[in-house]
Amino acid sequence: MSITGALSNAMQGLQAAGRGSEVIAANISNALTPGYGMRILELSSNASSTNGGVMISGVGRQMNDSLAQDKRLAEAANANASALHGIYTTIENIIGSPDEPTSITAQMAALETDLITAASRPDAPERLSAAVGSARNLANSFVKASKTLQEARTNADRTIGIQVDRLNSALSQVHSLNKMITKSQVQGNQNHALVDQRQMLIDEISVLVPVRTVPRDNGQVALYSSGGVILLDSTAAEVSFDKTNTVTPYHDVDAGTLSGITVNGYPIGTASDNGGLSGGSIAAQFKIRDDIAVEAQGQLDALARDLIERFQDPAVDLTLGATSPGLFTDNGGAFDPADEIGIARRLSLNAAVDPKQGGEAWRLRDGLLAASTGDVGDGAQLNRLVDALTLSRPSASGIFSGGMYSAIDLTSTITSHYAVKRDSAENTLSFNAAQVSELTERLLGDGVDSDQELQKLMLVEQAFAANARMLQTVDELMQTVLGL
């Protein structure tokens, strides 16, 4: 080999070593960067030179696309499960168990206890006042629970609006990156950073709506939802949703009082299990707004109706007429079975027995419409109130319609129903979280291995030193020749 050939090969080797160290440094610094694909320096022999040598062919990007796809779908399922677990936990807490003082179950048990206590000493004003206080607290707990459910629906509606805006923005950015990647590829430039950025956006989109990527010409990709909706292919789809400021028990998507979702102007099913955009965070918010919270409100209304009807019966309070409101009222009036929706939020204590509304606690003992006090030692009326609360009667509405329940049994049954729902949601969330964790570890394992990159760096250092030694040797030879 000539001195010129040796010098050329050494210079090529130094260039390859320098580029290799840059690639290794980029890999190590981005080892935990989301969407980053490991860079690989591609080298080949310099066939164009009679002296051989090394040539830098380019820098490749390595990513396990199949594993990345599985991870995206798992993250979407996890986001969906997390939102559903949250709403079931909220519902379980507001209905609650007897050991939670602010729960409806505990307030119902407190009313029963205080009525029994008052019936044992009907002449004791403080016992009557305590029973009235328990009844007021129970009514207030229904109102608070109903407000909490409607706030959950309102928040879900607001979250859908925010997430749809983010979805549109991300789709537009992926579309722009598609064009930039194509332009870069046509010009023969490296576009790995653009692909990384696109990967991050696709991962973000998939949490909102699970998507699958389909390769297109010139480095572009198309995005399809798992439900078959085209979100990006040549152009980005326009997803539309109209937010509602406040959601009430009367708002319903089927009645047109709540917005559904459209893609390029076409309505898309919002069912969490089989809708066009099912499986992700957006679908979970629709399920909360249109299914879970609506059902829970229905059970709460059924429970409130049962409570009102128990004490509205003239056989329980002999002073009442056929249309008179009982101990618990529908916003001060008698309950109308045709107007059950939202009754839990309108539930109130009859003003006749509530000192805070100008009433008198003794009417709990003598009758709601009694004009004056009767025999202070007569506990018959209070005993009838206790019997009304503990009587097993058929539930007129709700998921347990037709069954025979006392008030406390009906409350406990509904509590158990949502405890099972919450437990199931928790198990699903745990499974999905474990799946995301496992896939993340596997993806990281297939990605940048810092130890392996450091080993590569040591080899690069050795190659650099060898080529530097070659240059030094060539220099010594040149000095020798010049000295002859």
pLDDT tens-digit map of 400-437 = 777 889 998 888 888 889 999 999 999 999 999 999 98
In the structure encoding, which two tokens stand for residue 78, read together?
Answer: 């996890």
Cα Rg of the chain (Å, integer):
36
Write the pLDDT tens digit of every residue in 48-76: 666 666 776 666 667 777 888 888 899 99
pLDDT of residue 261: 93
Asked if pLDDT for residue 223 goes beyond 70, the answer is: yes
Burial of 122 (C-beta count, 10 Å sphere; 0-12/13-18/19+):
buried
Write the pLDDT tens digit of every residue in 321-340: 988 999 999 999 998 888 99
Identity of the amino acid at 122: P
If you ran DSSP here, which 8-state letter would residue 236 be given?
E
Least confident range of 49-63, 102-116, 268-282, 355-369: 49-63
Nearest alpha carbon to residue 229 among 190, 171, 183? 171
Write the pLDDT tens digit of every residue in 109-132: 999 999 999 999 999 999 999 999
Asked if pLDDT for residue 19 goes beyond 80, the answer is: no
Nearest alpha carbon to residue 325 among 351, 289, 354, 288? 351
Q: Which residue has the tokens 């979100």?
A: 231
In this structure, are residues 33 and 448 in contact, taking their beta carbons and an 8 Å threshold?
A: no
pLDDT of residue 56: 67
Which secondary-structure segment (H or E) carries 436? helix 407-446
Q: What is the pLDDT confidence band of residue 135, given thresholds at 50, 70 and 90?
A: very high
Q: What is the pLDDT confidence band of residue 469, given thresholds at 50, 70 and 90?
A: confident
Nearest alpha carbon to residue 444 among 20, 13, 38, 122? 38
Distance CA 322, CA 41 (A): 89
**pTM for this prediction:** 0.85
Count of CA atoms in the C-beta half-sphere (13 A) of 103? 19
Strands 328-330 and 221-225: unpaired
Q: What is the pLDDT confidence band of residue 360, given thresholds at 50, 70 and 90?
A: very high
Q: Which sign does the torsion angle of CA 310, 311, 317, 322 carry? A: negative
In the structure encoding, which two tokens stand for residue 138, read together?
Answer: 């129970």
